Amino acid sequence: MDLREYLKKAKEEGFIQEVESEVDWRLEAAAVSSLANRMGLPRPWFKKVRGYPEGYSLIFDPLSGKWERPWAPHALLLGFDPNIPYKEFFENVAQQIFLGGPVKPISISSGPCKEIVDAGDDANVLKFPFPLLTDFDGGRYTNYNVIIAKDPDSPWVNWSTYRAMIHSRKSIGMMFNPGQQTADLYYYKYEPREIDMPICISLGSDPLHFLASCTPFPAAISEAEIVGGIRKDPVKLVPSETSDLTVPADSEIVIEGVIRPRERADEGPAGEFFGFIMGPRSLMPVMRVTAVTHRENPILPVTNCAMHLSDCPSSTNFMLIPLFGFYKYAMGMPVESIRVPHPLFSCASKIAATNATSKEDVTWLAHNLWMTMLTAMSFQLVGIVDGDLDLTDEELVLEELMRKASVAEDWHDVGRAEGVRSWYSVFQTPQEKREGKPTAKVWIDGTTKEWDENKMGPKRCTYELLVPDEIRKRIDKEWGG
């Protein structure tokens, strides 16, 4: 399913709305998108962008849903009923990844992304309406992308996602933090050998490519093969124009280039996926553009990631699916579901549901959750709750954590331990991050202990608990309750 096919289906489901009025790429487009995110309205697909040719369009957060069902667009993308319950969707995709197996991509000679080819002096990334998202950003950004780079020592080709700041028509700043896979290829393999790193940026291919590139699969795992396994259909790749890399044939836009050793330029700050402006402005590697290819009337996807109901929290929950599958199917851990609640997204919080019956098993699960790079680097709080809890009922999740966890016994400080620091911690100053100061990281045991609330504990004031069965049956019959 390419982006155009998905957008057609998403429009029919009410997730996307075409906007024919002209919009300015400078702050206005992002502002309109921000309001749509805030109110849970269909995400805007701007068909006319000021200063750009007719047919060049800009789509914001195409995988975002409404507050009550933010995973629905992901379900639509993968062929499920958009009304599927979260837990069922989560388990189905995990099974596809872990029980279905990878499918290798296939190479074809050409594809839609080659409809227009601009190489050498004709290459110009400013021909596309990359938006200025906030008044605090250091520049215009692409952040809804698939970054493609190859390990020089093996056949492994890594797909990843990074924010990238447009410097000029042929220069892009890459926010490469050590510890991330593509960044490490550059810092620890290409740069020490004083050789250029070929790189491609694919924009607007199958949205599942973007989700896979966001997901922290282990090194040497092919995201293209994972996508093929989920789709049960191989990803189609075409040769790039100026390197040996191959790119998704259905891309709306492909930017090709190299990152030279020892070359740095200013990058940042920018609104980041936890909903804060992240800085400071710092020196980062530079991509020198060598070619640009694209479809006729290209569609440029962007995420307004500083807003809570953008594609970022939804995509982060998708990123947890392989982790859940690994724990459940490979390690046999008693985990029923994992979710980042949208209201707690900016607090960098992750909630896991478990059927563990002992404190030792709950502790084991919590420690394993902290050992993943995504959690260690980016999250501040992990909560563990009972396995039968609906993690999409965020009010109930918070109530369980507050009501069942003893501050003295069930709140566990792991932040002072030596280990990966959180670059995204909003509680640290840039100086503290550079000096490697400890971060505040906590996990909370909110599971039921040795009591039953229906017998011993406080009764939750719910309709089902407080109204007798005979009265509820009469109301259902007479009032259609």
**Which of 55-64, 72-81, 251-260, 357-366 has the weakest average pLDDT?**
357-366
Tens-digit pLDDT profile for residues 228-255: 999 999 999 999 999 999 999 999 999 9
Does residue 265 share a domain with residue 358? Answer: no
Tokens 């709306």, located at residue? 252
Maximum mean pLDDT: which of 31-40, 73-82, 369-378, 460-469: 73-82
Q: Are 240 and 254 in contact, with CB atoms under 8 Å apart?
A: yes
The H or E element that residue 350 is part of is: strand 349-354
pLDDT band (50, 70, 90) for residue 421: very low
- Bridge-based pairing state of the strands 157-160 and 164-168: unpaired
DSSP states of 260-312: EEEEEEEE--EE-TTSSEE---EEEEEEEEEEEEE-SS-EEEE--TTSTTSHH
pLDDT band (50, 70, 90) for residue 436: low
Does residue 275 share a domain with residue 339? Answer: no
CATH of the domain at 364: 3.40.1670.10
> Where among 249, 282, 302 does a domain terminate?
302
Tens-digit pLDDT profile for residues 262-277: 999 999 999 877 677 7
Q: Are 10 and 61 in contact, with CB atoms under 8 Å apart?
A: no
Tokens 């594609």, located at residue? 311
Q: Which domain holds residue 402?
A: 333-450
Q: What would you report as the CA-atom Rg of the chain, rounded to the nearest whole angstrom?
A: 23
Does residue 193 share a domain with residue 93? Answer: yes
Determine if the peptide bond prior to 280 is cis (ω within 30°).
yes
Does residue 348 share a domain with residue 298? Answer: no
Tens-digit pLDDT profile for residues 157-203: 999 999 999 999 999 999 998 888 999 999 999 999 999 999 999 99
List, in order, residues 6 or more apart from 197 with CB less than 8 Å away. Answer: 149, 185, 186, 190, 191, 258, 259
Q: Which amino acid is at 21?
A: S
Sign of the C-alpha dihedral, residues 111, 1, 160, 433? positive
Does residue 183 share a domain with residue 39? Answer: yes
Does residue 215 share a domain with residue 156? Answer: yes
DSSP states of 173-222: EE---TTSHHHHHIIIIIGGGT--EEEEEEESS-HHHHHHHHS-PPTT--
Sign of the C-alpha dihedral, residues 183, 188, 189, 194? positive
Task: Answer yes or no: is 134 within a domain.
Answer: yes
Say how many domains are in the chain.
Answer: 2
> Where among 261, 282, 302 does a domain terminate?
302
Task: Answer yes or no: is 183 within a domain.
Answer: yes
pTM of the model: 0.90
Q: Token pair for residue 206?
A: 């199958």
Q: In 3D, which of 262, 279, 308 has the Cα closest to residue 165? A: 279
Q: Are 147 and 257 in contact, with CB atoms under 8 Å apart?
A: no
450 vs 76: which has the higher pLDDT: 76
Q: Which amino acid is at 240?
A: S
Does residue 369 share a domain with residue 275? Answer: no
Distances (CA, A) of 262 to 91, 258, 454: 44, 12, 65
> Where among 302, 319, 342 does a domain terminate?
302
Q: How many CB atoms lie within 10 A of CB 448?
A: 15
Instruction: Tell me the three state secondary structure of residue 413.
Output: strand
Does residue 267 share a domain with residue 372? Answer: no
pLDDT of residue 308: 60
Task: Answer yes or no: is 378 within a domain.
Answer: yes
Tens-digit pLDDT profile for residues 121-145: 999 999 999 999 999 999 999 999 9
pLDDT of residue 377: 65
pLDDT band (50, 70, 90) for residue 434: low
Sign of the C-alpha dihedral, residues 310, 314, 320, 322? negative
CATH of the domain at 248: 2.30.110.10
Please determine, for residue 285, whether its predicted confidence score (pLDDT) is greater than 90. yes
> What is the C-alpha separation between 61 and 306, in angstroms, rounded?
12
List, in order, residues 6 or more apart from 270 with CB less than 8 Å away. Answer: 133, 134, 136, 137, 138, 141, 143, 163, 165, 175, 277, 278, 279
Does residue 287 share a domain with residue 375? Answer: no
Does residue 200 share a domain with residue 127? Answer: yes
What is the mean pLDDT of the segment spanning 8-26?
Answer: 97
Q: Are 387 and 373 in contact, with CB atoms under 8 Å apart?
A: no
Task: Answer yes or no: is 322 within a domain.
Answer: no
Torsion of CA 201, 172, 151, 325, to 10 degrees: -60
> What is the C-alpha separation between 365 and 352, in angstroms, rounded?
9
Does residue 268 share a domain with residue 186? Answer: yes
Q: Are 163 and 282 in contact, with CB atoms under 8 Å apart?
A: no
Task: Answer yes or no: is 278 within a domain.
Answer: yes
Tokens 């989920």, located at residue? 230
Please determine, for residue 212, whether its predicted confidence score (pLDDT) is greater than 90. yes
Task: Answer yes or no: is 477 within a domain.
Answer: no
Q: How many CB atoms lie within 10 A of CB 283?
A: 12
Does residue 156 share a domain with residue 36? Answer: yes
Task: Answer yes or no: is 315 within a domain.
Answer: no
Task: Answer yes or no: is 274 within a domain.
Answer: yes
List, in order, residues 6 or more apart from 244 with CB less than 8 Å away. Answer: 150, 198
